[in-house]
Amino acid sequence: MSQNVRAKKSGLSADIQKKLEAKYSQDQEAQCRAWIEEVLGEKLSNSELGMHNFQQCLRDGQILCKLLNTLNGEPLVKKINQQKMAFKQMENIEQFIKGCKIFGLKDGDIFQTADLYECQNMSQVLCTLYAVGSVASKNGYTGASIGATISEANPREFSDEQLKQGDTMIGLQMGSHKGASQSGMNIGKSRSIMD
């Protein structure tokens, strides 16, 4: 089990934490574990499935930094700290996060340091790993992949003639009334004003 750095949550915070933990998928974890092991060519330190076990594998940030460097082909994280001190481990996680931004991930796809280090939101860690896999494929990595394929831009070019043809058509969403109008329609009894 992980060592708790923070005090036990209560009230609304405890409810939110329970919901975050309920979102965690062991199936996704198993896919991420297999992908990481295949990309790095090494086994993770703890092979037992479970949120806290997976957190212990990644907590020092070394595996994440190695993963990002391998996927990029050249080091995005120049120095990976080997020390066991908490601030050095968190520094590795921060370097991974910075590397992810350079690699091409959006801010919304990246977890925060506490999400991993303090096991606050491990489902977001899984989402980040899937996003890293997707961006790696887009960036040209040809090895093992995980996550959705990112679509490429497909701009369309229309000639002036094609654009003018569009002006002559009535779109079905606008409805077609074939020249009918409401002129002369009288609904209900008209009100007469008497002096």
Per-residue pLDDT, 105 = 93
**Residue 181 located in a structural domain:** no
Task: List the single range of 68-77, 115-124, 178-187 with lowest mean pLDDT.
Answer: 178-187
Residue 1 — pLDDT band, cuts 50, 70, 90?
very low
- pTM exceeds 0.95, yes or no: no
Domain membership flag for residue 192: no
- Residue 148's Cβ-side half-sphere holds a number of Cα atoms within 13 Å equal to 5
Q: Above pLDDT 90, what percent of the chain?
A: 46
Domain extent for 119 = 25-138
d(CA 194, CA 123): 75
Does a structural domain hold residue 60? Answer: yes
Which pLDDT does position 2 carry in this prediction? 44
Amino acid letter, 67: L
Could you tell me if residue 11 is inside a domain?
Answer: no
Number of domains in the chain: 1
pLDDT at 34 over 70: yes
CATH number at residue 87: 1.10.418.10
- Please calculate the CA angle 112-123-141 and round it to the nearest 5 degrees: 80
Task: Classify residue 112 by burial, with Cβ atoms within 10 Å: 0-12, 13-18, 19+.
Answer: middle
Per-residue confidence (pLDDT) for residue 80, from 0 to 100 = 93
Q: What confidence tier does 82 reach under pLDDT thresholds 50, 70, 90? A: very high
In a domain, 152, yes or no: no
E strands in 81-169: none
